[in-house]
Each structure stands twice: as structure tokens, then as C-alpha cells.
């Protein structure tokens, strides 16, 4: 695809995330007033990740247009750093976390929505906003992967970064329970301590699998497999 259509597409996606975040933060939900606020939910963290990522994509596109035909080596170096940051965020955060949120949410929702998204939330969150948080993330990130080739880090570094994020969030969820006595997700209330450890290990493995899936898909789309 041409640069200008891709640029407009990324800008539109960025604006949609900004709209979703603003509407979500404007909702007066009791959970927002408790310890950790919105930051205890992986869905909100993912929305911030996606917004920052597409913001970097738009900034990269603008920088590329501004430096086109410019012989400044310093500007070229800065652009390469920006591209490297964009590619790293896509590989380690935007794709694996985004796909994880969508697949895990809807899998548990179909099984028993009360375990992850109690019906009470329908009184606060409209259906379009729910899909904005838990559905459109997947097509948006796939569109980005299809329109731009992203250079993945070495597999060991990439997996280490994904594991760090996953373990960090799990520790954050456990800390919130330690402080408040309440688990962030109702599902965890029904699991014994041993099963919780297995569950946390399983979700860490799953998000690493999504990282590998993103790497394979990126290579397949852009035919860079060796």
C-alpha cells in the first residue's frame, strides 16, 4: 500500500483508540475508584499500549515524510531509532498483548461471562465500547502487520521481554489482592492457590505463544523467512 493511505489509516486507528480511552475513563464505575483504578485491568493497559504504539506509528510516518529527500545523517539516525522502537513495541507488546486480551476475554466470556465481565457492567459500558476494547484490537493490529514490515528482535530477547511483562502484571494482580483482599477478575476467586499458580503459568505460556505467532505471521506476510 502507498505511504499516504497507510498514514491516514494509522491516524484513524490512533484517533479511535483515543476516543475509546476517553469514553472509558469518563464512565463512573465503582471499580475505577478502588485501589489501582483502571490500571488494574489488562484491557485498559492494552488500550494504552495500542494508543502509544499507533502514536509512534503516526510519528514515524510524519518523520519519514519530513526527512524524505533530506541528506541529514542525524535525522536519518533519529528516524531509524523511531522505527526500531515502533518495531519493538509491535513485536513485544502490541501484537501479543492485544491478541491475548481478545482471545482470552471472548473465550472466557462465551464459557461464563460472569467470570470475566459480569452482566452488571452492561449498565456502565455500552456494547460498542466493549467491542472497541475487546474486539477491534485484533483487526487493527493485523492491519498494521499487513501494511508494514516490522523487524523483530532476537527470539530470546523478545520472549524475555514478553515474560517480563506477563510476570510483572501477574505480580501486580497479586499485590492488589494482598492490599484489598479482592481479586481483579472474578475467575480467580474460584481457583485454589495451586490452580492459580498453574493458571498464571499457563497464561504466561500463551502470551509467549502469541509472540511466536506474531513473528511467524510477520515473516510469512513479508516473505522474510530464511
Q: Is residue 4 left, alpha or beta, with left meaning phi > 0 and alpha meaning psi from -120 to 50?
A: alpha
In the chain, beta strands by DSSP E: none
As a whole number, mean pLDDT of residues 51-72 equals 86
* pTM over the 0.85 mark: yes
In angstroms, rounded to a whole number, what is the distance separating the alpha carbons of residues 165 and 161?
6
Q: Which tens digit of pLDDT belongs to each residue from 103-134?
A: 999 999 999 998 888 898 888 899 999 999 99
List the chain domain ranges: 6-224
Highest-confidence segment of 40-49, 77-86, 181-190: 40-49
Which of these, 53, 33, 39, lies nearest to 96 by C-alpha position?
Answer: 53
Amino acid at each position: 500500500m502507498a505511504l499516504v493511505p497507510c498514514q491516514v489509516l494509522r491516524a484513524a486507528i490512533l484517533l479511535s483508540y483515543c476516543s475509546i480511552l476517553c469514553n472509558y475513563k469518563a464512565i463512573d464505575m465503582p471499580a475505577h475508584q478502588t485501589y489501582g483504578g483502571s490500571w488494574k485491568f489488562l484491557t485498559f493497559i492494552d488500550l494504552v499500549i495500542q494508543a502509544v504504539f499507533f502514536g509512534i506509528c503516526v510519528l514515524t510516518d510524519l518523520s519519514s515524510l519530513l526527512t524524505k529527500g533530506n541528506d541529514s545523517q542525524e535525522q536519518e539516525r533519529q528516524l531509524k531509532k523511531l522505527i526500531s522502537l515502533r518495531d519493538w513495541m509491535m513485536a513485544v507488546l502490541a501484537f501479543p498483548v492485544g491478541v491475548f486480551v481478545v482471545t482470552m476475554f471472548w473465550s472466557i466470556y462465551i464459557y461464563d461471562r460472569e467470570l470475566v465481565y459480569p452482566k452488571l457492567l452492561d449498565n456502565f459500558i455500552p456494547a460498542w465500547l466493549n467491542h472497541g476494547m475487546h474486539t477491534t484490537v485484533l483487526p487493527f493490529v493485523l492491519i498494521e502487520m499487513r501494511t508494514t514490515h516490522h523487524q523483530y528482535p532476537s527470539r530470546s530477547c523478545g520472549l524475555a521481554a514478553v515474560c517480563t511483562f506477563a510476570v510483572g502484571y501477574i505480580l501486580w494482580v497479586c499485590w492488589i489482592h494482598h492490599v484489598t483482599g479482592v481479586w481483579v477478575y472474578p475467575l480467580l476467586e474460584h481457583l485454589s492457590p495451586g490452580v492459580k499458580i498453574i493458571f498464571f503459568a499457563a497464561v504466561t505460556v500463551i502470551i509467549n505463544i502469541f509472540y511466536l505467532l506474531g513473528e511467524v505471521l510477520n515473516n510469512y506476510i513479508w516473505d522474510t523467512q530464511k
